[in-house]
Structure 1
Amino acid sequence: MSVIELKNDKISAALKTMGAELTSLKDTEGTEYLWQGNPDYWSGQAPVLFPIIGCLRNGTASVSGDKTCSFGRHGIARRKEFTLISSTEDKAVFSLKADEETKKQYPFDFELQMTYELDGQKLKITHTVINHDSIPMPFCVGGHPAFNCPISEGEDFEDYVVEFEYPETADCALLNEDALIDNGNRVPILKDSSTLPVKHEMFYNDALIFDQLKSRKVSLKHKDQEKGICVSFPDFDYLGVWSSANDGPFVALEPWSGTSTCTDEDDVFEHKRGIKTLQPGEETSLSFTIEIL
């Protein structure tokens, strides 16, 4: 594993080849915005989620008729070493290609390229999925970046809010004991409001999964200051907002193209909500941006 550093005159970022994961995001004053992975709460920082988001029922599903896929939570990319294809002062491109190990879990000849590029106070993260196989390839992809909350010493977790681009009326489905989404069991989260005060108890039942948003921008910011980060996710239909159930001092803002298996879905991978399918030789790219405010 190696670490690649990006820098411009506004911000800096660090990335590791293991999982092509973002490990640092700082401003010029050296303030660290990205969660640093304290294992007392959660050892991750910003894992790449592919080719599923969340969980499958019993960890498996049928795919392509007579094949089977089998994953732990959030798929396989997060635990694989990527190859660094190219890097400049402000841009890096990583690649993960299918091998015999991945094909036992996900029976496709895939390639996932992760591109990280600085632009002013923004870091653009692009997921490019390529189907090198001879059959159609279904997948989901997403991000899981977690941010320090509070950002500065002397502040409290509850000094922060999640602020949406537009006023929202949204409820979120709860997860059942198997971490599947129960769309028949939803709780109201927002009612004609763009501001969600951050409280630890919001996350005691796992992530808030927003599937009805008009907004495609969301910020984690101090309630009394324009200090924080903004995530823009125009290419993604879902947003997860999460922190650890043991009162972790961070909040993750997670753009997703799909979700865990829902209780009203079967166990055919192609039938999952949000699944995208690439034909042989096709590729597609989905991007989100993290901006330091």
Structure 2
Amino acid sequence: MYTLKNKQLHVGIQQKGVELCSIKNLENNKEYIWQANPEIWGSHAPNLFPIIGVLKDGQYKFKGSLYDMPKHGFIRNNDNLEVKNQTKTSITFILKSSEELSKIYPFKFEFELTFTLNGKTIEVTHLVKNLDNQTMYFQVGGHPAFNAPLFDNEAYEDYYLEFDQKLSLESYILAESGLVSNETKTITENDSKIKLSKDLFNEDALIFKDIPSKNVVLKSNKHGEILSVSYKDFKNLGVWAKPGAPYVCIEPWLGIADVEGTNQNIETKEGIITLGSEKDFSASYKISIA
């Protein structure tokens, strides 16, 4: 495990998939990141690239060829990211395209992920470099899971998410295949809060496209603000947990899973980012501990 530390926080990042696996508040000695109980959900905070969610039949088309791609892409569970540079409060990992990766992703690229600790805030920065002589197509996002409840004598139902404005939010419903359907359900009507409950995620993740709010706070009825996630660079937001599990994922996304009616062409995939030859792309989100 790689570590970042200052007087307020101790942050851990695991080698596999360079997942953020620990945020410990040194003031109260509490662990804020879900500890990946494999009997419930065996991840902490997957990094999503070059797709988000699932593809129809696990495949996409590019220039007449079909390519296989696992759910959420190939950074997750990847052991090949290397440290590019590190200080006490910052670390950058890099993954370069390879002959092996080209079998599932036919682009020459570099992907960098930087974690920066400043006070009680961790900034996660994604940098994508297109080293190819052709346009590159990708999506990128985060999937951090936070412990809820955090303190003794609390219940999951004591927790809620609060946005920085009142919203009327419709969530797109996922089909059993994991593809995004055209159906929606109303989550909030002119309200800034989503109350957590054990049945909130019975139909899988809440998916908010083009969400106007760019900051959400996890709060407890008994302890007030727990943490916040700000995501000004990201258009979409996912919120998820295994039903009944003691955590909640707050997921900034640039992209979305395939829609049911997809033609599987990556160039026209909903939410795809188009990056020209020799161009760079960067997007960051921040986690701030109260």
Q: Give me the TM-score of the superposition, normalised by structure 1.
A: 0.95
What is the match of residue 260 of structure 1?
257
Would you say the 8 A contact 2:49–2:141 is kept in 1? Answer: yes
Aligned partner letter, 1:240: G
What is the match of residue 168 of structure 2?
169
Structure 2 alignment gaps of length 5 or more: none
Displacement, 1:132?
A: 1.4
> Which 4+ stretches in 1 moved above 3 angstroms?
none
Q: Percent identity?
A: 36
What is the match of residue 243 of structure 1?
241
Query: 1:219 & 1:105 partners in 2: Cα distance?
Result: 37
Aligned partner letter, 2:257: S
What is the match of residue 107 of structure 2?
108
What is the match of residue 137 of structure 2?
138
What is the match of residue 274 of structure 2?
277
Alignment partner of 2:186: what SS? strand
Query: 2:97 & 2:152 partners in 1: Cα distance?
Result: 43
What is the match of residue 216 of structure 1?
214
Distance 1:212 1:237, change over 3 A: closer
Displacement, 1:153?
A: 2.1
What is the match of residue 155 of structure 1?
154
Displacement, 1:120?
A: 1.0
Q: How many residues align?
A: 288
Distance 1:68 1:133, change over 3 A: farther
Aligned partner letter, 1:128: L
Which 10-residue stretch deviates more, 278-287 or 221-230?
A: 221-230
Would you say the 8 A contact 1:162–1:196 is kept in 2? Answer: yes
**Where do residues 1-293 of structure 1 align in structure 2 (5 Å cutoff)?**
3-28=1-26, 29-63=28-62, 65-81=63-79, 82-183=81-182, 185-245=183-243, 247-293=244-290
Residues 15-51 of structure 1 deviation map (CA, whole Å, 9 limit, x = unaligned): 1222111010011132100001011110000010000
Would you say the 8 A contact 2:56–2:262 is kept in 1? Answer: no
Structure 1 alignment gaps of length 5 or more: none
Alignment partner of 1:135: what SS? coil
Alignment partner of 2:57: what SS? helix
Query: 1:243 & 1:203 partners in 2: Cα distance?
Result: 6
Query: 2:196 & 2:253 partners in 1: Cα distance?
Result: 21
Displacement, 1:243?
A: 0.1
Which 10-residue stretch deviates more, 136-145 or 23-32?
A: 23-32
Residues 86-126 of structure 1 deviation map (CA, whole Å, 9 limit, x = unaligned): 11110000001122222111111121100000111100000
Q: Give me the TM-score of the superposition, normalised by structure 2.
A: 0.96
Displacement, 1:212?
A: 4.0
Alignment partner of 2:200: what SS? helix
Displacement, 1:69?
A: 2.7
Displacement, 1:66?
A: 2.7
Aligned partner letter, 2:205: A
Query: 2:49 & 2:283 partners in 1: Cα distance?
Result: 12
